[in-house]
Structure 1
Amino acid sequence: MLIKRRYKHFKRYRQVANILARHGFGYLLDKLNLTDILPYHQRIKQTSEEEQHSEKTRGERLRLALTELGTTFIKLGQILSTRPDLLPKDIIVELEKLQDRIPPFPYEEVKEHIEEEFGAPIEEIFECFHQESLAAASIGQVHRACLKNGKECVVKVRRPGIESVVEVDLEILFDLARLAESRSALSRHYHLVEIVEEFTWGLKRELDYSVEGRNAERLDKNFLQEEDIKVPKVYWDYSSSKILTMEYVEGIKLSNFKLLDELGYNKRTIAENLSKAILKQILLDGFFHADPHPGNLFVQKDNKICFMDFGLMGYLSDERKKQVIKLVLALVRKDSIKIVKSILEMGSLSKGTDIDKLKKDMDMLISLYYSVPLSKINIGEVITEVLELAFTHKVQIPSELTLMAKTFIILEGVLKELDPSISVVEIAEPFAAKLIAHQYNPKNLAKDWAENFQDYFDIVSKIPQKADRILDKAIDDDITIKFELQNLGRIFAYIDRIANKLSFSIVLLSFSLVMAGLIIASAIGRGGSEFFWQIPVLEIAFISSFILFFWLIYSIIRSGRF
């Protein structure tokens, strides 16, 4: 299947391999046995090109390679930049610079795409449509327009043919991930195939503009009672999976700090409103904007904040939300024991996880912050450090937590520009404490118990039936009990070492006896050591025994179990 797909997409495979080799990653192709895809002259040039790129850091080279590879790989790099548990910091810093900005495609294609999607001329759909795009990215571009009822809107149009390009790239990524896992224990430890599966799910949702529209509606619903937050409306009659039409919002980009100052906006109020909005999304709603950089935020009158671009959103289940609240509170209170407890609740343990060592290392990490005031603590960086430590102890951390940490880091970067005195930690502590008190309120506990009562009742009601099945199997002698002995491999290795030492002793003794016999035979023999038709039996026997002896010793030592 892998070979079939490799030749099906041979042209793109070769293009990917060429770009990787050109940016000094030929050794990866060697490890994956993919150098045969490269043209012969390119294989020869690999070493010289790697030397040529040696003045650039590995992070720079990777960023340049991903940029050249296009949409899918740029998106992959952006997602990996949120995973400090997978990549070292120097590479993450470079991947954060990846820009998903490319020249717009022609208006003629935009017009054709819209008319094909809605089955009518563009003049009948919109009162006016600006031919020049407001912004262009690898997946699509945005145009300003006006509906027939006079309402201003923005129309996001998916780039024609992008879906098939992404589909091919995703198949190639799957192949590379499977190949890497089959040949590298480290790749299996990092679960590369799972990472690609998760990335595929997210990218396909990003390609579907109807998903982005639903994300915007859900976020808007969560802020219905908040006067300080604005989310543009979706015009579903003019939207589909390939086209998204939303309300046009007037405002100042949050990145334009100079204009905000000139027009007299209160940057401290803006910072507080933004902090509370993100904390509400994460801790209360469990549904958050995962890319709140200044380009995706507008400021309106009365310091109201408007969120834009809903392609990348984070999701937290109710259970995960409770765990995150506990983690944030434990971090704020610098309680390393509760931090470890929260991490273990959220992550999945590997066999090699040493919990006592994890607690000790977490103590050392948190001790660095004991004398640091809350206002000086960057919660995003602290969460990232905690997750990195957990990963080094082989605790598998859910990706939504690393995305949440990245969101906090972006938020704190924006706050530094707006008002450095604002601390997310100081705002988060009373927020999280209030939520904890709300969760453990007797009334809410009773409500949770009532909601779970049916599940508990189903479990208890099935006990007699399952017990009856076990008894039936016991009567029919059909019960199989499986035992798994811990450290069985070590026990067998120890037995092997003992057996090898014993074998060594026996062989040494046997060799000594053979040598003694040969020497005695030589001494009592007539005419020296030549017996049986003048053949030097003694010398041949000695050499054969010597070779066999050392061959056996070499085999035992080579096995590593001696």
Structure 2
Amino acid sequence: MRGPHNIWRLIRTGATFERTGAMRVALEAMEAPPRLRLVARIMGWPFKWLGYKGDPSLPPVTRAITALGPSYIKFGQIMSTRPDVVGAELANQLRMLQDRLPPFDQQVAKAVLAEEFGRPVDEIFTEFSEPVAAASIAQVHAARLAETGEKVAVKVLRPGIEKAFQRDIDAFHFAAEMIERLSPASRRLRPTDVIKHFEGIVTGELDLRLEAASASQFGANTERDEKFRVPLPVWSLSSRRVLVMDWAEGLPMGDPETLKAAGHDLTAIGTRVLQLFLSHALRDGYFHGDMHQGNLKVAENGDIIAFDFGIMGQIDEYTRHVYAEILMGFIQRDYRRVAEVHFEAGYVPKDQDVTQFALALRAVGEPIFGMNAKQISMARLLAYLFEVTERFGMATRTELILLQRTMVVVEGVARSLNPAINMWETAKPVVESYIRENVGPKAALRNLGRTARVLGRFGPQLPDMLTAALENATRPPEPAPEPQPVRGVHLAGAAGLVLLGIVLGVLL
């Protein structure tokens, strides 16, 4: 339920960050203004005793996030790929959230397997290891199939993970609704829709049958991609809570020194990761939505191996065209065209000035060119880009949230391998190839052929459809129903509700 009781969860979030010392560390790492740091400490200190203690052996921020649960761990995973935003030291601390969380007992995993398949684990596998990786939602075991002797990876959901996620998501929904009520200006960012989008992703990630289907689709799309591999599912041994896949051996991408010692070219791998993501997003409209270091390995022959297909992104053909044109405009430093594309796609309200928007985009893009990654503060760049979207009334595009988030993560992965990588130069050949194939004359002819096929299919029905449309247009409109009183919450009432919840939370 998304009621005021969720205030308790939000209070405990701030209290946990304060109790573990994570509040100060996080604000300093992100270079928060002194005034914001002071307000955060004053607001958090009275509730400090309500926070979770966490594991004292862990660094403060990691300790707070792991204590708060899986939804917060997901956020920490994203931040672990952005040393330019949170600082190198904090990013390294958060990296353990990718695949080195405390595992649950092997016997519990075996019990889940026996329940899912209706027979003892020993009848299915001749070998079943202790956990080899543990993340926020599931953990992985190495095993060997009794029937074929083939080595496989067995992924098992954490016990109780569904309830834990639902509890956090309910609190997030409540927070988003209260933000929209208390701050009408925030509605352009559509926080409620953003949380709904996140909920849909998480719901899919908690059903491993969907992950098996995603892996199968992704593997089919990318089977011709050089230096890239996708382990495929064993369908007969996959269910809602268990996923069995081909075993793939490789070195973790989150360990650059080990990769370098093994003779791998880190610059080439960083470039390849970024170009693969763009190729999958633009060419296929279907991309890995969680490409952090914990889900990527490098095989002995240099192939990049992707894992964990619980979060996959999908964008339609029109959106791909828009995205490619925007990227190409930035690459060519044609900010006027970038601005026009935003207006044509409806991303910016028509009452805004296209020339002024182009100038604002130039201020975002120009600092990137002629510099390497070490000279650019991505935190400041993102902050300014947010100011631009606010100034021009751009609403949050929920269909692009995962694409934008994954782009940030993938760039972070590439930078961890090559700090001097230039994102725009790396992206240029992929975007140019897509533009040639899908936006030029060849694409126009292909679209005409597609349109002709559709018209041919529906041609015999067109007269009846036109007649029905004309009849509807000439029919007199039905009388409108009597207006009903609308029940709502006044701003003052909502604010009072928040204060009441905080008081109750402290007294409980």
Separation in structure 1 between the aligned mates of residue 333 and residue 236 of structure 2, nearest angstrom: 51
1:121 Cα offset (Å): 0.5
Separation in structure 2 between the aligned mates of residue 449 and residue 387 of structure 1, nearest angstrom: 39
The answer to whether the Cα contact below 8 Å between 2:189 and 2:396 also exists between their aligned partners in 1 is: no
SS at match of 1:314: strand
The change in CA–CA distance for 1:463 and 1:391 in structure 2 (over 3 A counts) is farther
SS at match of 2:341: helix
Deviations 1:108-140 (A, max 9, x none): 21111110110000100111111x211222322
- Aligned 1:22-171 pairs, distance under 5 A: 23=17, 49-50=45-46, 67-75=66-74, 97=94, 99=97, 102-130=101-129, 132-148=130-146, 149-171=148-170
The change in CA–CA distance for 1:174 and 1:19 in structure 2 (over 3 A counts) is closer
Letter of the 2:301 counterpart: D
The change in CA–CA distance for 1:384 and 1:324 in structure 2 (over 3 A counts) is farther
Separation in structure 1 between the aligned mates of residue 189 and residue 90 of structure 2, nearest angstrom: 21
Counterpart residue number, 1:290: 289
The answer to whether the Cα contact below 8 Å between 2:70 and 2:136 also exists between their aligned partners in 1 is: yes
Deviations 1:14-47 (A, max 9, x none): 455344356569xxxxxxxxxxxxxxxxxxx986
- Aligned 1:158-307 pairs, distance under 5 A: 158-307=157-306
Separation in structure 2 between the aligned mates of residue 176 and residue 435 of structure 1, nearest angstrom: 40
Structure 1 range deviating more: 389-398 or 411-420: 411-420
The change in CA–CA distance for 1:463 and 1:392 in structure 2 (over 3 A counts) is farther
Separation in structure 2 between the aligned mates of residue 380 and residue 464 of structure 1, nearest angstrom: 57
Letter of the 1:143 counterpart: H
1:166 Cα offset (Å): 2.1
Counterpart residue number, 1:17: 11
Which structure 2 residue ranges, 5 or more long, are not aligned? 20-40, 50-58, 481-508
Deviations 1:383-421 (A, max 9, x none): 996566234421124245454344344444444454556
The change in CA–CA distance for 1:231 and 1:64 in structure 2 (over 3 A counts) is same
Deviations 1:255-311 (A, max 9, x none): 333333333333344344334322211221122223333332222233211112222
1:237 Cα offset (Å): 1.2
The answer to whether the Cα contact below 8 Å between 2:152 and 2:246 also exists between their aligned partners in 1 is: yes
1:314 Cα offset (Å): 2.4
Counterpart residue number, 1:320: 319
Tell me: higher relative CO, structure 1 or 2? Use CA pairs within 8 A at least 6 residues apart.
2
Separation in structure 2 between the aligned mates of residue 260 and residue 61 of structure 1, nearest angstrom: 29
The answer to whether the Cα contact below 8 Å between 1:380 and 1:406 also exists between their aligned partners in 2 is: no
1:312 Cα offset (Å): 2.7
Letter of the 1:17 counterpart: I
The answer to whether the Cα contact below 8 Å between 2:81 and 2:91 also exists between their aligned partners in 1 is: no
Letter of the 1:49 counterpart: W
SS at match of 1:395: coil
1:353 Cα offset (Å): 4.3
The answer to whether the Cα contact below 8 Å between 2:156 and 2:241 also exists between their aligned partners in 1 is: yes
SS at match of 2:132: strand
1:94 Cα offset (Å): 7.5
Identity of counterpart residues, as a percentage?
26
The change in CA–CA distance for 1:380 and 1:241 in structure 2 (over 3 A counts) is farther
SS at match of 1:181: helix
1:330 Cα offset (Å): 0.5
The answer to whether the Cα contact below 8 Å between 2:70 and 2:165 also exists between their aligned partners in 1 is: yes
1:322 Cα offset (Å): 1.0
1:315 Cα offset (Å): 2.0
Counterpart residue number, 2:469: 466
Separation in structure 1 between the aligned mates of residue 114 and residue 228 of structure 2, nearest angstrom: 34
The change in CA–CA distance for 1:427 and 1:383 in structure 2 (over 3 A counts) is farther
- TM-score normalised by L of structure 1: 0.67
The change in CA–CA distance for 1:262 and 1:15 in structure 2 (over 3 A counts) is closer
1:77 Cα offset (Å): 6.2
The change in CA–CA distance for 1:460 and 1:207 in structure 2 (over 3 A counts) is same
1:141 Cα offset (Å): 1.2
Structure 1 range deviating more: 337-346 or 449-458: 449-458
Deviations 1:148-200 (A, max 9, x none): 11111111111122212322332333333333333331443332221221111
The change in CA–CA distance for 1:227 and 1:79 in structure 2 (over 3 A counts) is closer
- TM-score normalised by L of structure 2: 0.73
Letter of the 2:183 counterpart: S
The change in CA–CA distance for 1:408 and 1:383 in structure 2 (over 3 A counts) is farther
The answer to whether the Cα contact below 8 Å between 1:384 and 1:402 also exists between their aligned partners in 2 is: no
Separation in structure 1 between the aligned mates of residue 91 and residue 268 of structure 2, nearest angstrom: 32
Separation in structure 2 between the aligned mates of residue 454 and residue 133 of structure 1, nearest angstrom: 53
Separation in structure 1 between the aligned mates of residue 44 and residue 260 of structure 2, nearest angstrom: 53
Counterpart residue number, 1:428: 427
SS at match of 1:396: coil
Separation in structure 2 between the aligned mates of residue 48 and residue 396 of structure 1, nearest angstrom: 31
SS at match of 2:231: coil
> What root-mean-square deviation, in Å, do the aligned CA atoms of Structure 1 and Structure 2 show?
4.2
Counterpart residue number, 1:528: none
Separation in structure 1 between the aligned mates of residue 63 and residue 334 of structure 2, nearest angstrom: 42
Separation in structure 2 between the aligned mates of residue 248 and residue 380 of structure 1, nearest angstrom: 37
1:231 Cα offset (Å): 0.9
Letter of the 1:288 counterpart: F
Counterpart residue number, 1:396: 395
Which structure 1 residue ranges, 5 or more long, are not aligned? 26-44, 54-59, 84-88, 482-562
The answer to whether the Cα contact below 8 Å between 1:292 and 1:411 also exists between their aligned partners in 2 is: yes
Separation in structure 1 between the aligned mates of residue 265 and residue 91 of structure 2, nearest angstrom: 33
1:69 Cα offset (Å): 2.5
SS at match of 1:197: helix
Letter of the 1:247 counterpart: D
